[in-house]
């Protein structure tokens, strides 16, 4: 007889005979099975992206690509203005108007100037023609100077790492968008009900 092939049965406490003990036994076994299922499934992240500005585009893409790098299953549901981030022609801007926490720093010049935070009153940001384009150009130069990927590059990384990019069909209909305006890598065109069914099973769910 080949002793190496002998299967030793799993050691498990006997099932109790009283009702309370049986309920506790079944509860424990259920917890164990759910834990095994969770381990086998792996971690998952669900993000709802609602903003279409440059500064608000970074969080969902950075979080999703980081999750994918860690081996998590990640998805982003783009709804309302967040759909702008799925356009073939990415024309997104950043504005300090109504965004007092946004730093305005010079991306070039001497060291002391690049560390100086320039306060921009809303009266100037809202009334000076072309200021939004200026702020966007400043932010783009800062991003490039620091070696941070662009929004398009982060979106491409999402696609390469199998992050599921989902578009809100209701918003598409609401704003009379055409599907050919968007990148072909969109996994699905779905509604909120469908995505909530997916999000409720995620380990982490974020609203951006």
Q: Is the C-alpha dihedral spanning 173, 177, 179, 183 positive or negative?
A: negative
Alpha-carbon gap, residue 191 to 3, rounded angstroms: 58
**pTM for this model (two decimals):** 0.70
Helices 54-69 and 131-145: angle between axes, nearest 10 degrees: 30
pLDDT in tens, 174-185: 999 999 999 999
List the domain range (segments joined by +) for residue 116.
45-207
Counted domains in the chain: 1
89, 78, 90: which is closest to 175 by C-alpha? 78
Classify residue 86: in a domain, yes or no: yes
Note whether residue 14 is domain-resident: no
60 domain residue, yes or no: yes
Q: Is residue 66 part of a domain?
A: yes
- Give the torsion through C-alpha atoms of 30, 34, 37, 38, to 10 deg: -170
- Domain-located, residue 76: yes
- Note whether residue 97 is domain-resident: yes
pLDDT digits (tens, 9 = 90+) for 133-150: 767 777 778 778 778 899
pLDDT at 83: 97
The string of pLDDT tens digits covering residues 35-71 is 666 565 689 999 999 999 988 999 999 999 999 999 9
In a domain, 35, yes or no: no
CATH number at residue 89: 3.40.1260.10
Is 5 inside a domain boundary? no
Residue 3, φ and ψ in degrees, nearest 5: -65, -30
pLDDT digits 0-9 by tens, 70-121: 999 999 999 999 999 999 999 888 866 656 556 565 555 566 545 556 556 5
């Amino acid at each position: 007889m080949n002793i190496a092939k002998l299967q030793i049965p799993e050691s498990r406490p006997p099932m109790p005979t009283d009702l309370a003990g049986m309920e506790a036994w079944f509860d424990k076994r259920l917890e164990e099975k759910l834990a095994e299922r969770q381990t086998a499934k792996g971690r998952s992240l669900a993000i709802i992206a609602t903003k279409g500005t440059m500064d608000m585009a970074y969080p969902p893409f950075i979080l999703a690509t980081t999750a994918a790098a860690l081996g998590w299953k990640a998805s982003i549901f783009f709804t309302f203005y967040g759909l702008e981030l799925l356009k073939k022609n990415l024309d997104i801007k950043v504005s300090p108007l109504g965004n007092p926490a946004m730093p305005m720093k010079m991306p070039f010049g001497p060291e002391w100037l690049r560390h100086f935070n320039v306060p921009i009153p809303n009266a100037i940001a809202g009334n000076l023609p072309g200021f939004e384009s200026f702020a966007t150009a400043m932010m783009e130069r800062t991003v490039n100077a620091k070696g941070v990927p662009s929004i398009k590059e982060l979106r491409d990384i999402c696609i390469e790492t199998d992050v599921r990019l989902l578009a809100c069909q209701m918003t598409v209909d609401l704003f009379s968008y055409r599907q050919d305006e968007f990148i072909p890598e969109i996994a699905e065109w779905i509604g909120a009900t469908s995505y909530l069914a997916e999000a409720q099973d995620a380990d982490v769910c974020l609203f951006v």
